[in-house]
Copies of this chain bind each other. A is one copy, B any other.
């Protein structure tokens, strides 16, 4: 069972290239027993990983030969592949697959399925489980209520350690598979504190539970966005946190393992949005991927045309001095890069709540200064270079001046634009990039060509 992470670069967790090849050979031979033998030792996350690694036709063949897909594997799969597989599962197979899952895993599994598939999975659940899942699905997407576990171990706040242990050890209490804390509640089932099992086990029997409660206690409302929940777990080092309804009554719990997944998803969203890829995974098809990327490229086309409109204003200058055309992309490109640097730091700081009303002006001032300092440094280098290449000292001066202007604008736009978008309720990761690079392109071309027209013609 023990397993070290291998030094081998080609191994992704428990799935080696050799294993993938062996499985595909067994598929070709139609040897289900061999596949079983190869996949049985693997963690469901690794089996899912393997299923994602092979291509669509290999995947179809694999699932025709081998019917070992269970709920745990389904839970681990990428959304797209999961839909594809659920479509091909017989209703009885699907029913069996989901029956063993905890309710919150079923919710994760079905929330993005289309209605027909969702109905098929829900139909496979027993009455009580189905009610729990349907209730969770009634909460808004990306809310704490949607992602909480409803199985909670709770105790009256006035209990002692001894009472707690006797309760947990009594035969007729059914405890969840995984729990690390007991939540203390008052008479109206409002959570007031929580106690870790480690502390329960290491304290004397007559110790009141309140005395060994954790200092860092936060509750979430069912409607709190999961992004906030994930960042709060990270900020306050929470291990688990109760979720309450609008009457402040305990209705569920979010644990750190769920929070870690949520935080990872938040990061994925930020990094992909910053690059103009709304969502997207390696398992998406060419058509899906093309569709995801097209909107941002379309936005970029508009902004690029805008920038070339600016260049168009200076056609006469370029006709007269063709060196301007050669040098102008340098100014724009440096501005774009500096703007992206400021932007990324700002977007990340907004996501981690480090950039706030208290320090925004200081940060903008810093970015302006950084832009100015780097602007001057690179202006000197580029100015000398421009002079050396084209033999015109004034061309060097124009190049240098445009560089300074554009790097200052980059610092300002890179910080100011995400802050403004955030205030307007727009995700700064999603939209800032287009605005910032438009700004640096337009300003870069205008400053350089404009100054050149005035000074050199």
Q: Which residues of A contact B (CB under 8 A)?
A: 1-5, 9-10, 12-13, 15, 17, 20, 43, 45, 49, 52-55, 165, 168-169, 173, 175-180, 190-193, 196-199, 201-202, 215-221, 224, 228-229, 232-237, 239, 256-257, 259-261, 263-264, 267-268, 270-272, 274-277, 280-282, 285-286, 289-290, 293-294, 296-298, 300-301, 303-305, 307-308, 311-312, 315, 318-319, 322-330, 332-334, 337-338, 340-341, 343-345, 348-349, 353-359, 362-363, 366-367, 369-370, 373-374, 377-378, 381-382, 385, 422-423, 437, 441, 445
Contact A334 B300 (CB under 8 A): yes
Given A201-B197, A264-B263, A219 contacting B3 (CB threshold 8 A): yes
Nearest 3 A/B pairs, CB to CB? A275-B344, A325-B325, A12-B353
Interface pair B277/A345, CB less than 8 Å apart: yes
Inter-chain contacts of A259 with B (CB < 8 A): 260
Total copies of this chain within the assembly: 2
17 more contacts with CB within 8 A, not counting A4-B219, A307-B329, are A1-B193, A20-B358, A175-B201, A177-B199, A237-B261, A264-B267, A275-B344, A277-B341, A286-B373, A289-B366, A293-B341, A301-B330, A305-B385, A308-B330, A318-B325, A322-B325, A333-B437
Decide: A12 and B341 in contact? CB cutoff 8 A: no
Chain B residues positioned under 8 Å from A297 (CB to CB): 334, 337-338, 341, 374, 378
CA distance A199 to B179 in the complex (A): 8
How far does the alpha carbon of A296 sit from the alpha carbon of B358 in the complex, in Å? 30
Smallest distance from the beta carbon of A436 to chain B beta carbons, Å? 11
Which residues in B have their C-beta under 8 angstroms from that of A17?
356-358
Main secondary structure of the interface of A (DSSP, over half): helix
Contacts of A298 in B (CB 8 A): 378
> In the assembly, what is the distance between CA of A324 and CA of B36, in Å?
62
Q: Is the CB of A260 within 8 A of B256?
A: yes
A289 near B228 with CB under 8 A, answer: no
A219 CA to B234 CA, complexed, in Å? 24
> In whole angstroms, how far apart are the Cα atoms of A52 and B169 in the complex?
46
Q: Are B196 and A180 in contact (CB under 8 A)?
A: yes
Nearest CB of B to A422, in Å: 8
> Which chain B residue has the least Cβ–Cβ distance from A300?
B337
Report yes or no: A357 in contact with B301, Cβ–Cβ below 8 A.
no
Minimal Cβ-Cβ distance residue in B for A315? B322
Tell me the smallest distance from the CB of A132 to a CB of chain B, in Å: 20
Q: Are B271 and A344 in contact, with the CB atoms below 8 A?
A: yes
Give Cα A217 to B229, complex, Å: 27
Complex: how many Å from CA A343 to CA B277? Answer: 11
Distance (Å) between the CB of A256 and the closest chain B CB? 5
Is the pair A271, B267 in contact by a Cβ cutoff of 8 Å?
A: yes
Instruction: Say which residue of B290, B324, B326 sits within 8 Å of A373 (CB atoms).
Output: B290
Q: Is the CB–CB distance between A286 and B369 below 8 Å?
A: yes
Q: List 14 A-B contacts (CB under 8 A).
A: A3-B219, A5-B220, A12-B356, A15-B358, A43-B216, A54-B358, A177-B198, A180-B198, A233-B260, A239-B257, A256-B260, A274-B275, A282-B355, A304-B330
* Chain B, residue nearest A204 (CB): B171
Chain B contacts for A437, CB-based, 8 A: 333
- Nearest residue (CB) in B for A367 is B289
- Contact residues in B for A340 (Cβ distance below 8 Å): 275-276
| Option from B4, B282, B304 in Cβ contact (under 8 Å) with A345 | B282
